[in-house]
C-alpha cells in the first residue's frame, strides 16, 4: 500500500509549475467526442481521474492518443457503443459528463451512476431536470442513468442550485439541440468558462459563461479543435497554503491570478504577503499566522475545494477561527486526523468548524479521507514536528500530478513509500 512519509519542519521555498485544471480537463475531454473530427487538447493533467475518463472513452470506441505527457489527441468518429459502464468509471464524478456529450451528439446515452469523493450527498436532480427540459427522457435503472430523445430542443432552464456539473452537462447537450437555450443561475467557475471556450472553438455558439446566465444557440455539428486547458486553481491554491503553513516563500508559476483572488485575499488576511507578476504569484509567510473566518461559496467565493487547506492553516493561527462549509454536507471528515496531530477543532452541525489555534502540529499516522483533504493533511505533516505517515494517498493521485515530487522541489522531506522497509529507510535517512 502506497503511503506518504513526511518529515515536517522545513519551510518550503522555491518555484512550482502548476498544471492544467483537472475539473476543466474532465468536461473538455468528454466534450471532445462531440465531433467526428480530431481534437488536440494540451495541458491535460496526468492524474488518475483524467486517465479513468480516457479509458472509459476508449471502451466505447473513442480513439485516444497521447502526444507527450500532457497532450491528448481524441477522435470520436468511430464510437460503437453509447453505454459507458466499465468498473472504473463508477469511481469518478465526471463520468456523467459523457451523458451530456453523447446525448447532444447521438440523442442517446447510458452511463454508470457517478462516484467521486465522499463529501456528502451529491445529487444529480439538476442534471436530470436540464436534460428533460431539452426534451430528453431520463431514467435510472440497474445503476445506470439512461437518457434518450427524438430531438433535443432549446429551452429556458432555471437551475435551483448553482451546480458546476449540471451547468456543464446541460451546456454540452444544448450545444447540439435545435434552437436557443438559456441557463439561469448557472455555475460561474473557471472550468465552466473553459468548457464554453472549448465548445466555441469547435463551432458552438455559447455566450455568457462566467456569468449566471448562459445563452446557447444550438448548432447542427461541431468540428475539430486545438485547445489548451486552463491552469488548476486548486493545485495552485494548495501550494500557496503550503507556503503559509510551513512559513515558506513559494512562487506558483503558470497561473491565472484572477482565479486565485479569493484564496489570496484569505492569505493576506491571515498575515501572508502576496506578490503578483504576470502569470506567477509569490506567497511569503514570514509572520505568525492570524485567525480569520471563512465560508465556502460558489465562484468567485472561497472554493470548497480549498476548505481543508485553509483549515490546516487556521488551526496553526493565533486565536479562534470559524470555517463554514456551504457547498457539501460532509466535508470535515479529515478533522479527526488533524486532531491526532494536535489540532484543536470542533465540528458543529456538520458544516461549521470552530478552530482554536495551536502553536504547532506533531507528526502522526493518519489517512486521507478524500482528494483535497488528503492534500491538506500532507500540508499539516510538512508543517508539523517529526514524522507523519499518510495512508490512502490514492485519493490525492486523483487530482494532483506528482504531488510529492513538486513538494520535494520546494525542499520538502516527503517520499512515496510502498512498504514498512521503505518507511524505516526514510526514517533513518531523515534522522
Ligand atoms: N447539487 C444538487 N443537485 C444537482 C447537482 C448538485 O443538489 O443536480 C448540489 C450538490 O449536492 C452540492 C452542490 O450542489 O451540494 C454543488 O455541487 P456541484 O454540482 O457544483 O459539484 P460537482 O459538479 O459535483 C464539482 C467539482 C468538485 C467541486 C464542486 C464545487 C468536478 C469533477 N468536481 O463537483 O471538485 O468541489 O464542483 O465547486 O468538477 C474536487 O476536485 O476535489 C471536487 C470535489
> Ligand 1 atom 10: the closest Cα is on which residue?
122
Do β-strands 156-158 and 180-184 pair in parallel, antiparallel, or remain unpaired?
A: parallel
Residues with CB under 6 A from ligand 1: 23, 26, 93-94, 117, 121-127, 161, 163-166, 187, 189, 304-305, 327-328, 371-372, 399
Nearest protein CA to atom 33 of ligand 1, as residue: 23
Report the separation in Å between the CA atom of 264 and the middle of ligand 1, taken as the mean of its atom positions. Answer: 22
Q: How far, in Å, CA of 342 to CA of 253, rounded?
A: 33
How far is it, in rounded angstroms, from Cα 293 to Cα 290?
10
What domain range is 241 assigned to?
3-19+231-430
C-alpha of residue 136 to centroid of ligand 1, in Å: 22
pLDDT recorded at residue 121: 64
Check whether 147 has a pLDDT greater than 70: yes
Residues 262 and 395 in one domain: yes
CATH number where 217 lies = 3.65.10.10
Nearest-CA residue for ligand 1 atom 2 is 123
**For a pocket test of ligand 1, which of 25, 164, 350, 371 has the largest count of ligand atoms closer than 8 A to its C-beta?**
164
Lowest-confidence segment of 64-78, 102-116, 292-306 by average pLDDT: 102-116
Question: DSSP string of 300-340?
Answer: TSB-GGGHHHHHHHHTTSBSEEEEE--S-SS--TTHHHHHH
Same-domain pairing of 220 and 333: no
Averaged pLDDT, 248-266: 98
pLDDT at residue 116 is higher than 70? no
- Going through 180-256 in order, the beta strands assigned E by DSSP cover 180-184, 205-207, 213-217, 225-228, 249-253
Within this chain, do residues 365 and 270 fall inside the same structural domain, yes or no?
Answer: yes
Confidence of residue 1 (pLDDT cuts 50, 70, 90): confident
Give the per-residue pLDDT at 114: 76
For 4-40, the pLDDT digits (tens) are: 999 999 999 999 999 999 999 999 999 999 999 999 9
Per-residue pLDDT reduced to its tens digit, 162-205: 999 999 999 999 999 999 999 999 999 999 999 999 999 999 99
Question: Whose CA is closest to 107, among 164, 142, 153?
Answer: 153
Do 222 and 199 touch, CB atoms closer than 8 A? Answer: yes
Within this chain, do residues 144 and 132 fall inside the same structural domain, yes or no?
A: yes
Asked whether the beta carbons of 351 and 325 are under 8 A apart, the reply is: yes
Give the span between the Cα atoms of 431 and 349, in whole angstroms.
42
Q: What is the pLDDT of residue 303?
A: 98
Point out the ligand 1 atom lying closest to the alpha carbon of residue 372. Answer: 42
pLDDT score for 185: 98
Taking only the tens place, the pLDDT of each residue in 322-346 is: 999 999 988 999 999 999 999 999 9
Q: What is the pLDDT of residues 334-386, one digit of tens each?
A: 999 999 999 999 999 989 999 999 999 999 999 999 999 999 999 999 999 99
Same domain for 158 and 251? Answer: no
What's 338-364 look like in SS3? HHHCCCEEEEECCCEEEEECCCCCECC
* Structural domain ending residue among the three candidates 207, 228, 249: 228
CB 416 within 8 A of CB 382: no
Instruction: Please check the confidence at residue 115 and state whether its pLDDT lies above 70.
Output: no
Rounded distance between C-alpha atoms, residue 205 and residue 219, angstroms: 7
Question: How many Cα atoms sit within 13 Å of 193 on the Cβ side?
Answer: 12
pLDDT in tens, 218-254: 999 999 999 999 999 999 999 999 999 999 999 999 9
Looking at the fold, whether 43 and 60 belong to one and the same domain comes out as yes
> Which pLDDT belongs to residue 190?
98
Which strand (E) or helix (H) includes residue 105? helix 97-106
Task: Give the full edge-to-edge strand order of the sheet including 365-367.
Answer: 365-367, 387-391, 3-7, 413-417
Which residue CA neighbors atom 11 of ligand 1 most closely? 122
Residue pLDDT, tens place only, 274-313: 999 889 999 999 999 999 999 999 999 999 999 999 999 9
Look at residues 228, 251, 273 and tell me which one is the last residue of a structural domain.
Answer: 228
Q: How far is the CA of 329 from the centre of ligand 1 (A)?
A: 11
Residue 87 has pLDDT above 90, yes or no: no
Three-state secondary structure of 274-301: EEEECCEEEEECCCCCECCEEEECCCCC
Pick from 10, 21, 1, 2: nearest CA to 237: 21
What pLDDT score was predicted for residue 117? Answer: 62
- Among 177, 204, 228, where does a domain finish? 228
Domain count, the chain: 2
Cα(124) to centroid of ligand 1, in Å? Answer: 9
Q: Are residues 267 and 153 in the same domain?
A: no
3-state secondary structure 151-168: CCECCEEECCCCCHHHHH
Q: Give the confidence band of 119 by pLDDT, cuts at 50, 70, 90.
A: low
Protein residue closest via CA to atom 35 of ligand 1: 305
Give the pLDDT of residue 208.
98
Nearest to 21 by CA among 48, 49, 44: 44
In this structure, the residue with its CA closest to atom 5 of ligand 1 is 124
Whether residue 173 is found in the same domain as residue 281: no
Strand partners, 207: 215
Residue nearest to atom 14 of ligand 1 (CA): 163
Give CA–CA dist 52/46, Å, rounded: 11
298 Cα nearest atom in ligand 1 = 38
User: Which of the 8 DSSP states describes residue 88?
Assistant: G
pLDDT at 12: 98
Is residue 121 part of the annotated active site? The answer reads: no
Ligand 1 atom at minimal distance to the Cα of residue 94: 32
Residues 415 and 330 in one domain: yes
Indicate the average pLDDT of the chain. 96
The model's pLDDT over 153-174, given as tens digits with 9 standing for 90+, comes to 999 999 999 999 999 999 999 9
Going from the Cα of 321 to the center of ligand 1, the distance in angstroms, rounded, reads 25
The string of DSSP codes covering 124-185 is: -HHHHHHHHHTT-EEEEETTEEEEE-S--B--EEE-SS--HHHHHHHHHHHHTSBSEEEEES
Confidence label for 100 from pLDDT (cuts 50, 70 and 90): very high
Distances (CA, A) of 127 to 34, 163, 210: 18, 9, 19
* Nearest atom in ligand 1 to 121's CA: 11
CA 163 – ligand 1 centroid, Å: 6
From ligand 1's centre to the CA of 16, what distance in Å? Answer: 27
Buried b (16+ CB within 10 A) or exposed e, 44-73: bbbbbbbbbbbebbebbebebeeeeebebb
Give the ligand 1 atom nearest the CA of 370: 42
Question: Could you tell which of 192, 327, 330, 399 is best to mutate to test the pocket of ligand 1, judged by most ligand atoms within 8 Å of the CB?
Answer: 327
How far is residue 99's CA from residue 384's CA, in Å, rounded to a whole number?
44
Q: 48 and 93 share a domain?
A: yes
295 and 403 together in one domain? yes
- State whether the Cα torsion 364-367-370-371 is positive or negative: positive
**Distance of CA 401 to CAs 17, 51, 298, 375, Å?**
11, 12, 25, 12
Query: Are 344 and 390 found together in one domain?
Result: yes
Average pLDDT of the residues in 269-278:
95
pLDDT computed for residue 86 by the predictor: 76
Amino acid at each position: 500500500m502506497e503511503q506518504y512519509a513526511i518529515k515536517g519542519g522545513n519551510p518550503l521555498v522555491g518555484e512550482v509549475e502548476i498544471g492544467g485544471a483537472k475539473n476543466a480537463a474532465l468536461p473538455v475531454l468528454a466534450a471532445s467526442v462531440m465531433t467526428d473530427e480530431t481534437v488536440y487538447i494540451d495541458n491535460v493533467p496526468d492524474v488518475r481521474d483524467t486517465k479513468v475518463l480516457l479509458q472509459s472513452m476508449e471502451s466505447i470506441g473513442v480513439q485516444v492518443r497521447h502526444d507527450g505527457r500532457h497532450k491528448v489527441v481524441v477522435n470520436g468518429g468511430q464510437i460503437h457503443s453509447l453505454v459507458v459502464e466499465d468498473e472504473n468509471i463508477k469511481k469518478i464524478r465526471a463520468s456523467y459528463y459523457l451523458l451530456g456529450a453523447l446525448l447532444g451528439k447521438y440523442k442517446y446515452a447510458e452511463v454508470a451512476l457517478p462516484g467521486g469523493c465522499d463529501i456528502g450527498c451529491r445529487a444529480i436532480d439538476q442534471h436530470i431536470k436540464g436534460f428533460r427540459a431539452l426534451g430528453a427522457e431520463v431514467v435510472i435503472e440497474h445503476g445506470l442513468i439512461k437518457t434518450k430523445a427524438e430531438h433535443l430542443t432549446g429551452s429556458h432552464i432555471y437551475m435551483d442550485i448553482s451546480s458546476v456539473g449540471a451547468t456543464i452537462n446541460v451546456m454540452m447537450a444544448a450545444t447540439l439541440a435545435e434552437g436557443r437555450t438559456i441557463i439561469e443561475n448557472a455555475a460561474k467557475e473557471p472550468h465552466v468558462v473553459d468548457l464554453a471556450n472549448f465548445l466555441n472553438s469547435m463551432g458552438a455558439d455559447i455566450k455568457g459563461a462566467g456569468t449566471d446566465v448562459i445563452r446557447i444557440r444550438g448548432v447542427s455539428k461541431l468540428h475539430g479543435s486545438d485547445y489548451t486547458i486552463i491552469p488548476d486553481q486548486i493545485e495552485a491554491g494548495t501550494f500557496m497554503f503550503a507556503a503559509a503553513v510551513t512559513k515558506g516563500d513559494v512562487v506558483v508559476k503558470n497561473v491565472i491570478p484572477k482565479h486565485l483572488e479569493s484564496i489570496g485575499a484569505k492569505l493576506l488576511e491571515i498575515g501572508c504577503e502576496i506578490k503578483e507578476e504576470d502569470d506567477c504569484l509569490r506567497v511569503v509567510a514570514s509572520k505568525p499566522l492570524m485567525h480569520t473566518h471563512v465560508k465556502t461559496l460558489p465562484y468567485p467565493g472561497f472554493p470548497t475545494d480549498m476548505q481543508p487547506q485553509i483549515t490546516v492553516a487556521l488551526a496553526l493561527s493565533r486565536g479562534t477561527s470559524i470555517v463554514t462549509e456551504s457547498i457539501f454536507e460532509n466535508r470535515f471528515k479529515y478533522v479527526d486526523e488533524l486532531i491526532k496531530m494536535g489540532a484543536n477543532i470542533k465540528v458543529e452541525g456538520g458544516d461549521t468548524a470552530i478552530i482554536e489555534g495551536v502553536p504547532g502540529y506533531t507528526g502522526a499516522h493518519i489517512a486521507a479521507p478524500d482528494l483535497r483533504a488528503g492534500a491538506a493533511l500532507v500540508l499539516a505533516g510538512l508543517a508539523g514536528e517529526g514524522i507523519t505517515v499518510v495512508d490512502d494517498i490514492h485519493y490525492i493521485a486523483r487530482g494532483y500530478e506528482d504531488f510529492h515530487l513538486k513538494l520535494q522541489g520546494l525542499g520538502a522531506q516527503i517520499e512515496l513509500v510502498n512498504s514498512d522497509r521503505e518507511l524505516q529507510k526514510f526514517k533513518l535517512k531523515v534522522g
